[in-house]
Amino acid sequence: MSVITDKSEVSLQTTGRCTFCGGYLYHPFVEWHGSPEDPEEKGFRIITICGRCCERYSKGLQADLLQIGAIIELERLYPGFTFVREYRGTHERRAAQQQSAEDALIAEVVAARAKGKTHN
């Protein structure tokens, strides 16, 4: 991957357009050269991302790429499992609901035992 900051830098891009938005490329922009999956195939796959799209999608795209990479690594270690990223708030709400359910069950058992002791 290359960050092309001005006209003096060499760029292999041929379309002059952003892969994401289709707009014209202005400096700075990213140019990513992916090698072909098939070694017999000639050439590179070139993805260009304009500065505006880099700014707009940088956190989300980076997080998504990292997530996919981590999922693939984990699935190699734990075949048959699927791993999903979830937001901290979602996890915390689910944990709180689970804790509330466990607390309610404990309270019910304690109450039942106390009731049973008073009737003996």
Q: Which two tokens stand for residue 96?
A: 């709180």
Q: Are residues 68 and 90 located together in one domain of the fold? A: no
Measured CA to CA, the distance from residue 56 to residue 96 in angstroms comes to 34
Q: Are residues 54 and 92 located together in one domain of the fold? A: no
Amino acid, single-letter form, for residue 55:
E
**Model pTM greater than 0.75?**
no
The closest of 64, 108, 54, 115 to 85, measured between CA atoms, is 64
Q: Are residues 62 and 95 located together in one domain of the fold? A: no
Query: Which domain does 111 fall in, by range?
Result: 86-120
Question: What is the mean pLDDT of the segment spanning 84-93?
Answer: 79
Q: Are residues 55 and 27 located together in one domain of the fold? A: yes
Per the structure, the count of domains in the chain is 2
- Give the chain's largest Cα–Cα span: 92
Q: What is the pLDDT of residue 120?
A: 43
Q: What is the pLDDT of residue 76?
A: 92
Q: Are residues 90 and 103 located together in one domain of the fold? A: yes
Q: Are residues 93 and 116 located together in one domain of the fold? A: yes
Q: What is the pLDDT of residue 14?
A: 54
Q: Are residues 8 and 40 located together in one domain of the fold? A: yes
Confidence of residue 77 (pLDDT cuts 50, 70, 90): very high
Peptide bond into 39 cis (omega under 30): no
What average pLDDT does the chain have?
Answer: 81
24-33, 40-49, 55-64: segment of lowest average pLDDT: 40-49
Q: Which two tokens stand for residue 9?
A: 């830098």
